[in-house]
Structure 1
């Protein structure tokens, strides 16, 4: 007989069976003092009151106060409404430093208030095999994902993401993404951040022609993007076929992007969607701390370390490479020894894209389309304008 049934039987034996307290104590092998305790409880609360009582203290001086609990739950609702991550660590980042509880306490608050959804399908972290570029611009990941407009029209959002810092370098919507768009967005991103030392993408036709002529992985001709990377001495890396986890960072970024877009609302045009993406990039890069980079924002992580860059060996010398554009006056600019230098190229090449190779004070400017050197310089640190050497 369990304690609950025994206590009820004792009371019923006395109140309805006519046993005295002494007889009940003897029959049920308990003390008369316990009999009196049960009777007192029965008189004040009925049979339910004689069931075993919790031994938990009525008060806990270390319990989280209601104000903190309310603050945590309100912040979680706010982040969820904005389409942002609202887990314990994300909440901890945004709570006031002077009063915020530990992430474990925040988790217990969320669990106690039924705001955590179990995800047993997730792999344990111990099974993860993570890799990360050592420096910003060492590797850029790229991929595109589908997203509908308000009327159901399908668009494709193309993104470039820095592997080291998770900074979103570029995101635009297209209908659809083409090889030309991949090249143009890559060049625009290089104009803003400099060229990467390598890229990591899947095997889509817009990125590689490796599988365009069968499965041998050796096409007769590279596509435009592959040729551009080759010209710039940028190493191209591609994930294995049907292995999206190789590009895990950008796949996870797509989840965050779509969660935010869904919360922000569907729009009618591609132009409006691109405005949304501009706002999202600001939030993602500057307002959203990232667990994988020490709870820093991607912008902070990107600016904290010297940038990697592609290099090429020419004449037993290692040259840094830039993809540049000659301005309307026939010059390109290069920061050297803390000052901006203007390298003379010639008006005949105005607005053209060129390769700039730099080794110490020496530079070479190459016409990419012709594959010819069109200017060379030895920088004079006393001057801003650097005329090209006579050939």
Structure 2
């Protein structure tokens, strides 16, 4: 496509050039017709004479030589300071004797001008990926939330009232100091890598048999929506390292994958979903009991999948499942 300020499109250039070269119209008259200068009209006519219609295409305006361009060796020093020490343009420019604007231009060109683009541990640029089709990869994990006592938890009612609510909640085991043990809710989550469509269930543990049941029901849930799961990515938790998990994946025709040890970034999509889950559902409002909160999970999952615009894809996740009515590609 022509750039935003171009007076002529490739098709208009061809018409202009043909009028001058083949029609033998005066360049000044043709230039007036196309509202360009005579110099521009003659230039396109000359290019048409030498190159034909192919010469009317857009060309890069980048110069052939750039004598003032920052030398490659200096670019490497700027990038090294940014990666290894996470310095800003002013600090790097002070060390290397360069204007901060020059350093910033180099960082932008190398796409490391924002520290959020660089891995905090390795200092390397973050490599993002996304599978091309729904079901090509699903992510699974478990996140935990403390159960809410009857009357509300301390986040909304304060520490003292929260402790009283815990003590008054019936049928709860107690610790050695007689404090009530509220326990935790284990939320087993599944998210599709391509669409970010999510599936979640709450259970009392994270054992292999529980995780396998969640996987089987999630695969069936995705199948009802026309998605065939091919691979599953998990961390190295005991449930996912078990032989039972491998056997269950084999029975479902799914290839199990594991993240690198101590590298939660590999499973970053579901880790980020857990944060959204906490902010949007678990701690979003006051719940009078754990039962009330659990009853709100299906509704929030529906809102997340069907109505909430996902920042990474710019639309609700369900919009990427093309088999659904109204979402054909």
TM range (shorter): 0.3 to 0.5
TM-score of the aligned structures, taking structure 1 as reference length? 0.41
More strand by share: 1
Q: Which has the higher helix share?
A: 2
Q: Select the structure of larger CA radius of gyration.
A: 1
Q: Which has the higher contact order (CA 8 A, sep 6+)?
A: 2
